[in-house]
Amino acid sequence: MKALTYLLSRIIKNSLREFVKNPGKIVLALIILFGLAMTVLSTFSAPPLLEEARDVKELIAIAMLLYLFIFLSGALRGLSSGGTFYSMADVNLLFSTPVSQNKILVYGLIKQAGVSLFVGLLLIFQYPNIRNFYGLGPVGMIVLLIGYCVTMFCAQLTAMAIYSFTSSNDKARKVLRAVIYIMVAAEVLYVGISAYTAAQGEPAQLLTAGAAAVNTLPVYLFPIAGWLTAAAYGVISGALVPAVLGCTAVVLFSVGLVAAVVRHHSDFYEDVLKATEVSFSAITAKKEGTVAEALPKNIKLGKQGLGKGQGASAFYYKHLVEERRSRIFLFDMNSLIFIVVIIALSVFMRKAGIITLFISATYMQIFSVALGRWARELLLPYVYLVPQSPFRKLLMISLENIRKIVLEAVVIFIPVGLIMGLGPVGILFVIIGRIGYGILFMAGNFMIERLFGSVSSKVLVMTFYFIALFLIAIPGIVVGVLISSLLPNASESVAVLGTAVWNIPVSLLIAFLCRNILNYAEMNNR
Long-range CB pairs of 502-507, under 8 A, 24+ apart, other chains included: 502/436, 502/475, 502/476, 503/436, 503/437, 503/439, 503/440, 503/473, 503/476, 504/435, 504/436, 504/439, 504/440, 506/440, 506/443, 506/472, 506/475, 506/476, 507/436, 507/439, 507/440, 507/442, 507/443
Residues 260-268 have a mean pLDDT of: 65
Q: How far is CA 351 from the centre of its chain?
A: 25
DSSP code at position 83: -
Looking at mean pLDDT, say which of 71-85, 270-284, 382-396 comes out highest: 382-396
Mean pLDDT estimate for the chain: 76
Under DSSP, the state recorded for 328 is B
| 40 pLDDT above the threshold of 60 | yes
Give a yes or no: residue 49 inside a domain: no
List beta partners, residue 331. Answer: 328
Residues 261 and 395 in one domain: no
Burial of 241 (0-12, 13-18, 19+ CB in 10 A): exposed
Please tell me which residue, 285 or 62, carries the higher pLDDT value.
62
* Residue that finishes a domain, picked among 286, 304, 333: 286
Among 502, 503, 496, 501, which residue's Cα sits nearest to residue 481? 496
Reply yes or no on whether the pLDDT at 198 is more than 70.
yes
- When pLDDT is averaged across residues 497-505 and rounded to a whole number, the result is 88
Helix/strand/coil for 331: strand
User: Which residue range forms the structural domain that includes residue 149?
Assistant: 54-286
Find how far residue 486's CA is from the centre of its chain. Answer: 37
pLDDT band at 300 (very low <50, low <70, confident <90, very high): low
**293 CB-contact burial (10 Å; exposed 0-12 / middle 13-18 / buried 19+):** exposed
Within a domain: 165: yes
Same domain membership, residue 507 and residue 443 = yes
At 331, give phi and psi (nearest 5°): -135, 165
pLDDT confidence tier of residue 146, bands split at 50, 70 and 90: confident
444 contacts 470 by C-beta, under 8 angstroms:
no
Residues 234 and 368 in one domain: no
CA-nearest of 413, 397, 437 to 493 is: 413
Q: For residue 21, which phi and psi values (nearest 5 degrees)?
A: -85, -5
Nearest to 222 by CA among 197, 258, 250: 250
Separation CA 61–CA 58 (nearest Å): 5
* Terminal Cα distance for the chain, rounded: 40
Give yes or no: residues 264 and 331 share one domain. no
Can you give the three-state secondary structure of 353-389, one letter per residue?
CHHHHHHHHHHHHHHHHCCCHHHHHCCCCHHHHCCCC
- Whether the CB-CB separation of 511 and 489 falls below 8 Å is answered with no
pLDDT grade, residue 227 (50/70/90)? very high
Higher pLDDT, 299 or 412: 412
CA–CA distance, 171 with 168 (Å, rounded to integer): 9
Could you tell me if 273 and 343 lie in one domain? Answer: no
Question: What DSSP state is assigned to residue 518?
Answer: G
Q: What is the DSSP string of 451-514?
A: HHTT-S-HHHHHHHHHHHHHHHHHHHHHHHHHHHHHSTTS-HHHHHHHHHHHHHHHHHHHHHHT
CA dihedral 422, 415, 410, 72 (to 10 degrees): 140
What is the average per-residue pLDDT within 492-509? 87
CA separation, residue 78 to residues 4, 293, 509 (Å): 26, 19, 46
Query: Between residues 460 and 316, which one has the greater pLDDT?
Result: 316
Under DSSP, the state recorded for 284 is H
pLDDT at position 113:
66
Say if CB 133 and CB 53 are below 8 A apart.
yes
DSSP state of 298: S
Percent of the chain exceeding pLDDT 90 equals 4
Q: Please tell me whether residues 264 and 319 are part of one structural domain.
A: no
Q: Is residue 494 part of a domain?
A: yes
How far apart (Å, rounded) are the C-alpha atoms in residues 213 and 57?
Answer: 9
> Both 371 and 509 in a single domain?
yes
301 domain residue, yes or no: no
pLDDT higher than threshold 80 for residue 512: yes
| 189/183 Cα distance (integer angstroms) | 10
Q: How many helices (H) and strands (E) does the chain have?
A: 22, 0
The distance from CA 179 to its chain's CA centroid, rounded to whole angstroms, is 26
* Helix/strand/coil for 343: helix
Domain assignment present for 205: yes
Check pLDDT > 90 for residue 369: no
The answer to whether position 113 is within a domain reads yes
Tell me phi and psi for residue 28, to 5 degrees. Answer: -65, -40
Residue 506's pLDDT is 92
Lowest mean pLDDT among 50-54, 112-116, 349-353, 502-506: 50-54
* Model pLDDT, residue 281: 62
Q: Please tell me whether residue 58 adopts helix, strand or coil conformation.
A: helix
439 and 318 together in one domain: yes
Q: Are residues 58 and 175 in the same domain?
A: yes
**Residue 98 pLDDT > 50:** yes
Mean per-residue pLDDT, 510-516? 83
Residues 212 and 354 in one domain: no
Residue 123 CA from chain centroid, whole number? 12
**Structural domains of the chain, count:** 2
Same domain, 276 and 384: no
Domain contains 380: yes
Q: What is the pLDDT of residue 294?
A: 47
* 239-255 residue pLDDT tens: 888 889 999 999 999 88
| Res. 142: pLDDT tops 90 | no
| Final residue in a domain of this structure, among 286, 305, 336 | 286
3-state secondary structure 86-150: CCHHHHHCHHHCCCCHHHHHHHHHHHHHHHHHHHHHHHHHHHHHHHHHHCCCHHHHHHHHHHHHH
For residue 459, tell me if it sits in a domain.
yes
Mean local confidence (pLDDT), 79-90? 63
What residues pair up with 328 in beta bridges, in sequence order?
331
Query: How large is the average pLDDT for residues 355-374?
Result: 76
Higher pLDDT, 432 or 196: 432
- Judge if 100 and 144 occupy the same domain: yes
- Considering only residues 47 and 197, tell me which one the structure prediction assigns the higher pLDDT: 197
